[in-house]
Amino acid sequence: MQTAAAAFMKEPSACDEGLGDIALVHAKVYCFAHQFLFSRLENLALQRLTQLLLKCDTPTDPFFLGLADAIRLVYGATPKSKPNDPARELLSQYVALKYTILPEETMRALIAEGGDFMLDVTCKLARRMSISGTSTQSLEGLIDELEMNVSRLEQHSENQACLLKRAEEEILEWESWNRGISAKHKKAKRMVAPFEFSATHENSA
């Protein structure tokens, strides 16, 4: 039986020009959520970025320019003190896996900048070289693991969407009930007003 990872490897697809900008948007959302501790939004942004990278098997120049900006943003916004940040892991793993086919000029710029990103990529490349005899199986395993993570995140996202829909329905129901109470109150007030006026007129007489 052919695995999803094997199918992914055998059917490379070039990245559309605009996907680099989309990768940067996902990175910005992730960094915002990370900074303000919105864990659900953080996971959702990571899910979207993972799906996009799985789609981009053959990185083009315009795509990798946007992705390079996303890498700089994520590494600048996430602390070094926290090991194994999932977005850092995802981006460095992607670059290590695609290292030999990445656009040379942009990759050279990232290498020249050095820092934590290139350290992470270097460690992953060294690990790949040390297990070169089983590199294909390792690559399939990594992709399968990414797809499993995406599936889990999608399930979580669907559950959250159901909860959100239920909450919206309850709010609409409450607003409808509140409007009904308000309308009845106004109607009762209009019916009482003539009697109040009559009583006031008699007392003054």
Confidence of residue 30 (pLDDT cuts 50, 70, 90): very high
At residue 11, the pLDDT reads: 40
| Consecutive H or E run containing 125 | helix 115-130
Q: How far is CA 22 from CA 143, 167, 176, in A?
A: 21, 30, 39
At residue 41, the pLDDT reads: 93
Instruction: Please state the rounded mean pLDDT for residues 93-121.
Output: 90
Instruction: Measure the CA angle with vertex 95, ends 94 and 100; round to 5°.
Output: 120
Q: Considering the chain, what is the average pLDDT of its residues?
A: 77
At residue 81, the pLDDT reads: 62
Q: Is the pLDDT of residue 90 over 90?
A: yes
175: tokens are 């607003």
Q: Is the pLDDT of residue 137 over 80?
A: no
What is the C-alpha to C-alpha distance for residues 45 and 26, in angstroms, rounded to an integer?
A: 5
Residue pair 118/110 in contact (Cβ under 8 Å)? The answer is: yes
